[in-house]
Amino acid sequence: MPVFISYSHDDKAFVDQLAAHLVKNNVYVWVDRWELAPGDSLVERVQQFMKDASALLVVLSKASVESEWCKKELSYGLTRELDERRVVIIPVLLNDCEIPPFLKDKLYADFRSDFDAGLSDVLKGVAKHTSDSLGRTDTKDADYFHDWGVSWGEHEGHVVLEIVAVTHSKKFPYTVLTTIRAYGNDEATRRYQHFAREGYDWFARKTVIAMMHEFSDPDMWRLVIDDSLPVTRDFGMKDSKSSLTYNIIMSARRLGEDTGMGILFDVKPIVDAVFRQIESARRLLPKSEEQRLMKLIQTT
């Protein structure tokens, strides 16, 4: 999901500069002048992107605090914070102005004297919304939530992608530590290395996780954990259009109080959560870069 930038058009030069630097840091941003085309409904499109945005950067300036449109966007962001019980709004202070009352207790990224310092603060603020290697699942309605991390490398000349997760139960006094490793064959390794040389290693990793996400056999993902000992399982995944295969080895063990009962643990929600965050965090590619990536896919 994008990071939405709310601002006054009087500050568009600054916003273009800020957005360009965020894009360079692989942050998917939404700026109205970049996205809207002639004939688009301004209100409808802005409302949709604000609804879908993972975070709202509010540029505070003498012009924006007087803008009725900016006030409406701020009001919507505050409503989302209350409903979702998480930080949605990240204030960006461009120049000295009257900060809205509901934002006075928030830390802000200060651009008044040092652009680089302000940019660093913004990147820290949006990191959890844009990371494709660390995350926590939404906890609103689920009985469990997962803290996870992704790493990658090579083992004995073959590419390996690893997901490590800690699953917290809201009902029971235990957690589950899960490790999922995907070992690529020669073709998968060659493909990964080819994408990495061209600067698209992130796409190669996303492809592996997408394969796991689409591998829907429920019996393969479910483990019965009877005690404190790790339970393991391995199975293969094959790309239907090539000789690319991955061997999946997963392990799960329970930590915490012994309830005297075994549990049926489903690993698939962890994979799905990682996939969703990677999908939402990755910025949209400009047309030229998208064409380059498509050409690379066709030649591998």
How does pLDDT run across 210-228, given as a tens digit for each residue?
A: 999 998 788 899 999 998 8
pLDDT of residue 148: 93
For 246, other C-beta atoms within 10 Å of its C-beta total 23
For residue 233, pLDDT over 80 is answered with yes
**Beta pairing, strands 55-60 & 29-30:** unpaired
* Residue whose C-alpha is closest to residue 278's, from 20, 6, 54: 54
What confidence category does residue 2 fall into, taking pLDDT thresholds of 50, 70 and 90? confident
pLDDT of residue 85: 57
For residue 231, pLDDT over 70 is answered with yes
**Beta pairing, strands 144-155 & 29-30:** unpaired
How far apart are the C-alpha atoms of 72 and 6, rounded to whole Å?
A: 10
pLDDT, tens digit, 9 for 90 and up, residues 130-162: 777 888 886 565 788 899 999 999 999 999 999
pLDDT, tens digit, 9 for 90 and up, residues 48-83: 666 667 788 889 999 888 888 777 777 767 666 656
How far apart are the C-alpha atoms of 99 and 115, rounded to whole Å?
A: 19
DSSP-assigned letters across all residues of 3-56: EEEE--GGGHHHHHHHHHHHHHTT--EE-HHHH--TT--HHHHHHHHHHH-SEE
What confidence category does residue 288 fall into, taking pLDDT thresholds of 50, 70 and 90? low
pLDDT of residue 86: 61
Using an 8 Å Cβ cutoff, are 102 and 78 in contact? yes
- The predicted model scores a pTM of 0.70
For residue 32, pLDDT over 70 is answered with yes
Between the alpha carbon of residue 286 and those of residues 34, 53, 148, 211, 292, the distances in Å are: 11, 19, 30, 25, 10
- Going from the N-terminus, what domains does the chain have, and what CATH number goes with each? 3-130 (3.40.50.10140), 135-299 (no CATH)
pLDDT of residue 252: 96
